[in-house]
């Protein structure tokens, strides 16, 4: 196997190395060496690294523990076509990705057009390289002309240049009308568009990963003819992979790869001649057999896959190509350097690329009306659903009424008439039926009045001291089904409101005698009857826009990555920062329209709005597709909970003390239980003196001072009595 190394090295290395290699090769597979081979190869291959468009030296690349490229040496001569051949899975695509700089090598050295890929200031990736990946890597919503314009913008071509190239490529590649949508093209036509995108800017290096798959023989021949023509100038080099081994005879050099290593490299004729084969395919088979025999002699399994090729690692001499122009010695590696200005320019995002990516997003959106509706109308639909379905008072709640008073002028009848009939449906029943009904789930509550309710209540109101029987008989008894808290709370509220209206009606200015000493004043913000939808709306707007942004970002990245589009853009010179920025700006635009529509809709249709989302920036910042997906799932509940939709954020424990802006009670006369929880942020008052409250209900003169006035968000004491 290493015999040809000797030949190769003799041409490129110094005398000392050459002798060493000769000894190594003779010891291993001298029978592979044909006497005149060396001369043939030397004649057709470049003489040193300076002439090579691509130089790979001892390149290793692994995916996890699996070594895909193993001490690979390869040299693509300047101005020639290099056919990279090998069975499926041998690592060709991986090698090409390393060459264009989208994959990093684990070890070794690669030089492309004079510098390592992605070296600051180097246009690989960039306009010097045209890359056609194995996947189609085309935006299916684009037309042919959109596709070429997009890559033209990235490569900095003027629209005139792009148009001229588009016309040429459409004609040359026998493509349909330039306004045809990519998604409507046949498989072969799509591949040709993909090839056109790689040829667009007349790159100095063309990297084509199986460009002829699915292309008919006539066009295949035409493509090869074109490649042969463009390399004639000596300025363009091509590396091409193909499964049609025979078509690679048109290449100037072929490299035969197996198990992550190059088995041979040379002109097609030389390779065939060396193996006494009539075709390249036979030569390749022969080479594989020879390599397997050598492997089995060493005890390696030939079909052992890439993992087994690692066993060759301990024999560096045997991992070198059988035939080839070899790399120079490590000392010959040029030193690359770039000053800080070049480095800074290299990392700075280019507006040209960002604009190209943003135009791409807009064109795609325009071409996908379904997705456009999804993006802009879905938030409106979701918010409408929340407005319609969440927060309204329940209607038609069946409540059993057990009224043991029969007189129509009784207080109980009067009180029941104040009960809100739109929410509460009263069903008059006897005691047994009512309790059977509530146990069977037919009623949400039972309201009961004793037969002496009217007289006992009057007594209660008039006397200073009453018996327990009077107290009990003069009370409204309510049994609730508390399995649904919202309904139970609503029922409690309705009964209290009915009682308040009843005493106001019956007692007028004397109603203070039986009313609770708490007066709900006109709220500072909102209204007395603010519904839950108003409260939930800001949180809903926030979470809906947030989730859509996260979801769409994740989706677009996943799709672009899966279809190879992201790789293609990177090879064209787009950086990840530019991709993120373009996405950020596009999403910002989309979110702005979404919010505008949401606000207009809420204002015009539901007439209520309060806050706007903070989370938009965060959603745009999560840009890695996997993280975005996980974040979309992981953030869902925390966001729902933290947005306060389910329960007020004020209930979240903040720390040991509810200090700023929180009511502190001084604890006089057992008042604490009357006031809301001290953590309630809206309560800003300090009750410092409250003793007069005790006498307020019995001495009418202190009525106002004896009530705690709650104004929506603040506790205040009226007329100085409490202060
Ligand atoms: N992202 C990845 N993660 C893990 N393994 C990978 C990844 N990409 C490729 N591989 C593995 O690396 C090996 C080489 O893959 P590669 O795509 O380079 O082969 P190939 O020679 O181009 O094959 P084909 O001709 O079928 O395209 C394969 O075994 C493949 O499963």
SS3 330: helix
Which DSSP letter does residue 30 get?
G
CB 545 within 8 A of CB 591: yes
CB 542 within 8 A of CB 613: yes
Our mutation pick for probing the ligand 1 site, out of 60, 62, 63, 567, counting the most ligand atoms within 8 A of Cβ, is: 63
The sheet carrying 445-449 orders its strands as: 424-428, 397-403, 445-449, 477-480
Whose alpha carbon is nearest atom 29 of ligand 1?
89
For residue 45, what pLDDT band results from cuts at 50, 70 and 90?
very low
What is the share, in percent, of the chain residues with pLDDT greater than 90? 17
pTM score over 0.90? no
CA-based torsion, 455, 458, 462, 466: positive or negative: positive
Enumerate residues 6+ apart whose C-beta is below 8 A from 41.
7, 8, 11, 266, 267, 270, 323, 324, 325
d(CA 33, CA 22): 11
Q: How far is the CA of 381 from the centre of ligand 1 (A)?
A: 44
Res 34: pLDDT: 37
Res 537: pLDDT: 72
SS3 367: helix
Which DSSP letter does residue 81 get?
E
SS3 402: strand
Q: What would be the CATH architecture of the domain defined by 397-507?
A: 3-Layer(aba) Sandwich (3.40)
Going through 334-470 in order, the beta strands assigned E by DSSP cover: 397-403, 424-428, 445-449
Res 459: pLDDT: 85
Q: What would be the CATH architecture of the domain defined by 45-128+203-290+301-325+343-347?
A: 3-Layer(aba) Sandwich (3.40)
* Range with top average pLDDT, 17-26, 71-80, 225-234, 375-384: 71-80
Res 460: pLDDT: 79
Enumerate residues 6+ apart whose C-beta is below 8 A from 184.
none
Both tokens of 136, joined, read 């189609």
45-128+203-290+301-325+343-347 and 397-507 share one fold: no
Res 130: pLDDT: 92
Report the atom number in ligand 1 closest to the C-alpha of 134: 27
Model confidence at 305: pLDDT above 50? no
SS3 308: helix
For residue 291, what pLDDT band results from cuts at 50, 70 and 90?
confident
Whose alpha carbon is nearest atom 10 of ligand 1?
63
What is the share, in percent, of the chain residues with pLDDT greater than 70? 67
ipTM over 0.90: yes
The whole-number average pLDDT for the span 289-307 is 56
Both tokens of 373, joined, read 């509706």
Tokens 């040193």 belong to residue: 48
d(CA 504, CA 525): 26
* Burial class, 661, CB count within 10 angstroms (exposed 0-12 / middle 13-18 / buried 19+): exposed
Model confidence at 333: pLDDT above 50? yes
Res 189: pLDDT: 87
d(CA 9, CA 16): 10
CB 61 within 8 A of CB 105: yes
d(CA 560, CA 553): 11
User: Mean pLDDT over all residues of the chain?
Assistant: 73
Res 329: pLDDT: 47
d(CA 378, CA 2): 65
pLDDT 10s digits, 223-268: 888 888 888 888 899 999 987 888 888 899 999 888 888 888 899 9
CB 552 within 8 A of CB 632: no
Whose alpha carbon is nearest atom 5 of ligand 1?
63
How many separate helices (H) and strands (E) can be counted in the chain?
25, 18
Q: How far is the CA of 96 from the centre of ligand 1 (A)?
A: 11
d(CA 196, CA 147): 9
User: CA 720 from chain center: how many Å?
Assistant: 59
Tokens 């007020």 belong to residue: 648
Res 526: pLDDT: 64
Helix 351-367 vs helix 144-154: angle between axes, to the nearest 10 degrees? 160
Model confidence at 381: pLDDT above 50? yes
For residue 405, what pLDDT band results from cuts at 50, 70 and 90?
confident
Beta partners for 677? none
Torsion angles phi and psi, residue 366, rounded to 5: -65, -35
CA-based torsion, 568, 569, 572, 573: positive or negative: negative
How many angstroms separate the most distant Cα atoms in the chain?
130
Beta partners for 710? 520, 715
Beta partners for 258? 261
For residue 186, what pLDDT band results from cuts at 50, 70 and 90?
confident
SS3 517: coil
709 against 432, higher pLDDT: 432
Tokens 């992550």 belong to residue: 260
SS3 559: helix
Where along the chain do its domains lie?
45-128+203-290+301-325+343-347, 397-507, 532-647, 664-720
Other Cβ atoms within 10 Å of 184 Cβ, number:
11
Both tokens of 231, joined, read 């390399």
Report the atom number in ligand 1 closest to the C-alpha of 97: 18
SS3 409: coil
The whole-number average pLDDT for the span 45-72 is 79
d(CA 98, CA 84): 14
User: Virtual CA dihedral for 258, 262, 268, 271, nearest 10 degrees?
Assistant: -90
Which DSSP letter does residue 84 get?
E
168 against 637, higher pLDDT: 168
pLDDT 10s digits, 81-128: 999 998 888 899 999 999 988 888 988 999 998 888 888 878 888 889
For residue 452, what pLDDT band results from cuts at 50, 70 and 90?
confident
Q: How far is the CA of 261 from the centre of ligand 1 (A)?
A: 14
For residue 29, what pLDDT band results from cuts at 50, 70 and 90?
very low
Q: What is the residue-wise DSSP string for 587-612?
A: HHHHHHHHHHHHHHHIIIII------
Model confidence at 675: pLDDT above 90? no
pLDDT 10s digits, 122-161: 888 888 999 999 888 898 889 999 999 999 999 999 999 9
Model confidence at 301: pLDDT above 60? no
> Is the preceding peptide bond at 369 cis, omega within 30 degrees of 0?
no
Q: How far is the CA of 347 from the centre of ligand 1 (A)?
A: 30
Lowest mean pLDDT among 175-184, 362-371, 539-548: 539-548
CA nearest to 174, candidates 191, 155, 157: 191
Query: Helices marked H in 390-524 — which ranges?
Result: 411-417, 431-439, 453-462, 468-473, 485-507
Model confidence at 447: pLDDT above 80? yes
Q: How far is the CA of 392 from the centre of ligand 1 (A)?
A: 58
Both tokens of 469, joined, read 């029987």
116 against 392, higher pLDDT: 116
The whole-number average pLDDT for the span 387-411 is 82
Lowest mean pLDDT among 252-256, 395-399, 708-712: 708-712
The whole-number average pLDDT for the span 295-304 is 49
Lowest mean pLDDT among 396-410, 546-560, 611-625: 611-625
> Is the preceding peptide bond at 125 cis, omega within 30 degrees of 0?
yes
- Angular region, 655: left φ>0, alpha ψ -120 to 50, beta rest: left
407-435 burial code (b ≥16 CB/10 A, e <16): eeebbbbbbbebbeeebbebeebeeebbb
Both tokens of 448, joined, read 């009961």
Whose alpha carbon is nearest atom 31 of ligand 1?
89
Res 374: pLDDT: 75
d(CA 362, CA 153): 15
Angle among Cα 139, 145, 150 to the nearest 5 degrees reads: 60
Q: How far is the CA of 110 from the centre of ligand 1 (A)?
A: 19
Res 527: pLDDT: 67
d(CA 123, CA 537): 50
Lowest mean pLDDT among 8-12, 538-542, 674-678, 712-716: 8-12
* Range with top average pLDDT, 2-16, 336-350, 482-496, 632-646: 482-496
Report the atom number in ligand 1 closest to the C-alpha of 94: 18
The whole-number average pLDDT for the span 287-299 is 70
Which DSSP letter does residue 115 get?
B
pLDDT 10s digits, 515-529: 666 676 777 766 666
Ligand 1 — pocket residues by CB below 6 A?
63, 68, 86, 88-94, 134, 306
Our mutation pick for probing the ligand 1 site, out of 93, 95, 305, 308, counting the most ligand atoms within 8 A of Cβ, is: 93
Our mutation pick for probing the ligand 1 site, out of 64, 91, 131, 239, counting the most ligand atoms within 8 A of Cβ, is: 91
Whose alpha carbon is nearest atom 22 of ligand 1?
93
Model confidence at 205: pLDDT above 90? yes
């Amino acid at each position: 196997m290493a015999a040809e190394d000797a030949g190769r090295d003799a041409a490129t290395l110094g005398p000392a190395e050459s002798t060493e290699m000769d000894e190594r090769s003779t010891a291993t597979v001298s029978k592979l060496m044909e006497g005149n081979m060396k001369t043939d190869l030397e004649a057709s291959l470049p003489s040193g690294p300076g002439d090579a468009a691509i130089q790979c030296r001892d390149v290793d690349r692994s995916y996890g523990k699996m070594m895909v490229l193993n001490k690979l040496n390869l040299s693509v001569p300047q101005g020639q076509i290099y056919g990279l051949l090998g069975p499926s899975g041998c690592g060709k695509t991986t090698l090409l990705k390393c060459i264009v700089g989208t994959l990093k090598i684990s070890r070794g050295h690669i030089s492309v057009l004079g510098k390592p890929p992605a070296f600051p200031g180097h246009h690989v990736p960039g306009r010097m390289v045209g890359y056609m990946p194995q996947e189609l890597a085309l935006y299916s919503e684009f037309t042919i002309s959109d596709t070429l314009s997009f890559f033209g913008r990235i490569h900095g071509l003027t629209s005139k240049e792009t148009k001229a190239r588009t016309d040429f490529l459409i004609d040359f590649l026998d493509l349909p009308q330039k306004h045809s949508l990519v998604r409507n093209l046949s498989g072969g036509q799509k591949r040709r568009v993909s090839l056109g995108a790689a040829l667009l800017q007349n790159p100095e290096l063309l990297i084509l990963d199986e460009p002829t798959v699915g292309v008919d023989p006539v066009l295949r021949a035409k493509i090869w003819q074109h490649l042969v023509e463009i390399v004639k100038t000596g300025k363009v080099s091509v590396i091409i992979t193909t499964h049609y081994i025979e078509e690679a005879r048109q290449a100037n050099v072929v490299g035969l790869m197996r198990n992550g290593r190059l088995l041979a490299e040379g002109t097609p004729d030389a390779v065939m001649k060396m193996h006494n084969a009539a075709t390249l395919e036979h030569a390749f088979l022969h080479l594989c057999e020879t390599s397997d025999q050598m492997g089995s002699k060493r005890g390696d399994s030939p079909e052992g896959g890439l993992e087994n090729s690692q066993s060759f690692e301990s024999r560096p001499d045997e991992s070198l190509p059988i035939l080839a122009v070899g790399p120079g010695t490590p000392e010959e590696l040029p030193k690359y350097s770039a000053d800080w200005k070049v480095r800074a320019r290299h990392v700075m995002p280019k507006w040209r690329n960002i604009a190209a990516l943003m135009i791409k997003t807009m064109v795609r959106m325009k071409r996908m009306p379904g997705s456009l509706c999804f993006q802009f109308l879905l938030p409106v639909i979701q918010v409408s659903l929340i407005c319609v379905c969440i927060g309204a008072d329940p209607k038609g709640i069946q409540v059993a009424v057990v009224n043991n008073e029969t007189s129509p002028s009784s207080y109980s009848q009067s009180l029941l008439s104040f009960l809100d009939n739109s929410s509460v449906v009263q069903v008059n029943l006897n005691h047994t039926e009512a309790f059977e009904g509530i146990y069977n789930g037919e009623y949400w509550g039972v309201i009961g009045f004793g037969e002496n309710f009217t007289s006992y209540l009057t007594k209660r109101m008039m006397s200073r001291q009453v018996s327990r029987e009077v107290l009990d008989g003069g009370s409204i008894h309510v049994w609730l089904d508390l399995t649904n808290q919202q309904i139970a709370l609503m029922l409690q509220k309705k009964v209290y409101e009915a009682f308040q209206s009843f005493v106001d009606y019956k007692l007028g200015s004397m109603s203070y005698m039986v009313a609770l000493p708490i007066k709900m004043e006109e709220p500072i913000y909102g209204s007395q009857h603010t519904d839950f939808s108003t409260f939930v709306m800001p949180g809903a707007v926030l979470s809906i826009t947030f989730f859509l942004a996260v979801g769409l970002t994740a989706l677009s990245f996943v799709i672009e990555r899966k279809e190879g589009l992201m790789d293609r853009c990177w090879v064209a010179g787009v950086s990840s920062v530019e991709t993120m920025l373009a996405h950020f700006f596009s999403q910002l635009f989309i979110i702005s329209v979404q919010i505008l529509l949401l606000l207009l809709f809420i204002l015009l249709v539901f007439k209520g709005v309060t806050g706007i989302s903070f989370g938009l920036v965060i959603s745009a910042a999560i840009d890695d597709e996997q993280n975005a997906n996980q974040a979309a799932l992981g953030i869902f509940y925390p966001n729902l909970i933290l947005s306060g939709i389910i329960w007020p954020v004020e209930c979240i424990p903040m720390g040991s003390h509810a200090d700023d802006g929180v009511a502190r009670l001084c604890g006089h006369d057992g008042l604490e239980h009357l006031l809301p929880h001290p953590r309630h942020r809206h309560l800003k008052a300090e009750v410092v003196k409250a003793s007069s409250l005790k006498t307020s209900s019995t001495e009418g003169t202190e009525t106002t001072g004896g009530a705690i006035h709650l104004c929506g968000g603040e506790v205040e004491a009226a007329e100085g009595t409490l202060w």
